Amino acid sequence: MKFTAITAALGLFLTGVTALDKPLDIQVLSASNCAEKDQTKPGDKIDMHYRGTLEETGFEFDASYNRNQPLNFVLGKGQVIKGWDEGLKGMCIGDKRKLTIQPEYGYGDRGVGPIPGGAVLIFETELVDINGQAGKKAKNDEL
């Protein structure tokens, strides 16, 4: 009996389907060293550049870089998918992260536009601004 359970668990592991899949995986691609008070937190208005792809096919469904316009929103207020609200906390301006988001933290079973229901999403993200700090910093750097 134990052998059957172990074999079944091993089979699931090898196929990549596990009960331990996290709804959100955060990979830090580039991180700066800013004070905690300067890191993103719920309620901050942030500007993010991103590239979104489907894990299954690699299809790029959207990218702010293509529009040369970052997306701005208030973090933690449900204006974006839960994977973003959770995965972008604690970033400094200029930081880059890769977020792998399971459907329950993305668009679930319903899908949206070119994103099919049940899709695992991969976002490469870059924090451009927090509450207008980048503009103030640039202005001070000019002085």
Measured distance CA(19)–CA(78) in Å, rounded: 26
Most distant CA atoms of the chain, gap in Å: 74
**Which residues participate in catalysis according to the annotation?**
50, 61-62, 81, 107, 123
Q: What is the DSSP string of 54-123?
A: ETTT--EEEEHHHHT--EEEETTTTSS-HHHHHHTTT--TT-EEEEEE-GGGTTTTT-BTTB-TT--EEE
